[in-house]
Amino acid sequence: PGPRMESLPEAVLIRILASIPAVDLVLACRLVCCQWKNLVDGAALWILKCQQEGLTGAESQENAENWQNFYFLSKKRKNLIKNPCGEEDLQYWGEVENGGDGWKIEELPGDFGKEFPSEEVHKYFVTSYEWCRKAQVIDLRAEGYWEELMDTTQPKVVVRDWYAGRSDAGCLYELCVKLLSENEDVLAEYKSETITIPQDNDANWTEISHTFSDYGPGVRFVRFEHGGQDTLFWKGWYGVRVTNSSVTVEP
């Protein structure tokens, strides 16, 4: 008979375990024996899995304190905002305020507009002559970010949005993002200033971003709200344009 698994050098055993799907490592392999539990709970196995799957590279990642959480967060990373570019009209956007003629979805680049920096974005939302606002509330647990992870690891919550005016009209833009508790108490908040884009602007798209970190335990929801209007009060859709909104949970 060949050598038993427990007699293998630890480095060899780590390489064998690294070939097993991550969920099986946590739910099954770590229950086999004390040695396997220590390996699954240790850093070496997860560093190897990250290297094998191309999840290392940035210097901040090299200093990740909990490589298991880093692995799962990296694999799960996705935009939690649904319908960020208006491909599904206003679906998934709640608490919609339709000032003036209300929200409208248009094709890029639009009248007196510019193409978006990414070829993957084809549409945008545009506001009218009174304030238009819309919001999404993201349920972190429903998206797979468990309570202990949010309370203990407190991964970064990164928010991004893109806005632009049309070159023949001035407009206003605002962004407000809140981290909420189970009872929807506000635990952390980012609110931009009211950004004014003058008439006769260059119509270029601008990214705005904010990163929440060290926000404390209890975060269960993210509420994302943005909006704006034009400053000329012209009937129709001459207000700020927004698209490619995103909320990501990152290591």
Q: What pLDDT, in 10s, does the model give residues 3-22? A: 566 677 888 889 989 999 88
Q: Is 48's pLDDT higher than 60?
A: yes
* Mean pLDDT calculated for residue range 113-124: 96
Please state the rounded mean pLDDT for residues 132-152: 92
* Cβ atoms 227, 127 nearer than 8 A: yes
Q: Which helix or strand (DSSP H or E) is residue 172 part of?
A: strand 171-180
User: Where in 21-170 does DSSP place strands (E)?
Assistant: 94-98, 104-107, 123-126, 132-139, 156-164
**Residues 84, 88: Cα–Cα separation, whole Å:** 9
- Position 139 scores a pLDDT of 97
58 pLDDT tier (thresholds 50, 70, 90): very low
What is the arithmetic mean of pLDDT over 173-201?
97
Structure letter (DSSP) for residue 105: E
Q: Could you check whether the bond before residue 117 is cis, i.e. omega within 30 degrees of 0?
A: no
The angle that helices 43-52 and 10-17 make with each other, rounded to 10 degrees, is 50
pLDDT value at residue 65: 64
pLDDT average, residue stretch 160-172: 97
DSSP assignment, residue 149?
I
Whether 152 shows a pLDDT value over 50: the answer reads yes
Between CA 104 and CA 241 the distance in angstroms is 10
Look up the pTM and report it. 0.83
What is the chain's mean pLDDT, rounded? Answer: 91
Distance separating alpha carbons of residues 125 and 90, to the nearest angstrom: 9
**Residue 162: Cβ within 10 Å count:** 22
Q: Give the SS3 label for residue 114.
A: coil
CA–CA distance from 172 to each of 34, 185, 225 (Å)? 60, 28, 14
Q: Is the pLDDT of residue 62 over 70?
A: no
The mean per-residue pLDDT over the stretch 73-89 comes to: 93
Q: Tell whether omega for the bond before 3 is within 30 degrees of 0, i.e. cis.
A: no
Whole-number percent of the chain with pLDDT over 90: 66
pLDDT band at 105 (very low <50, low <70, confident <90, very high): very high
Q: How confident is the model at residue 207, as a pLDDT?
A: 98
Average pLDDT over residues 39-47: 88
> What is the Rg, in whole angstroms, of the alpha carbon atoms belonging to the chain?
23
- pLDDT: is 81 or 59 the higher one? 81
- Walk me through the domains of the chain, giving residue ranges and CATH numbers: 3-73 (1.20.1280.50), 92-248 (2.60.120.260)
Is 50 exceeded by the pLDDT of residue 59?
A: no
Residue holding tokens 């599904």? 88
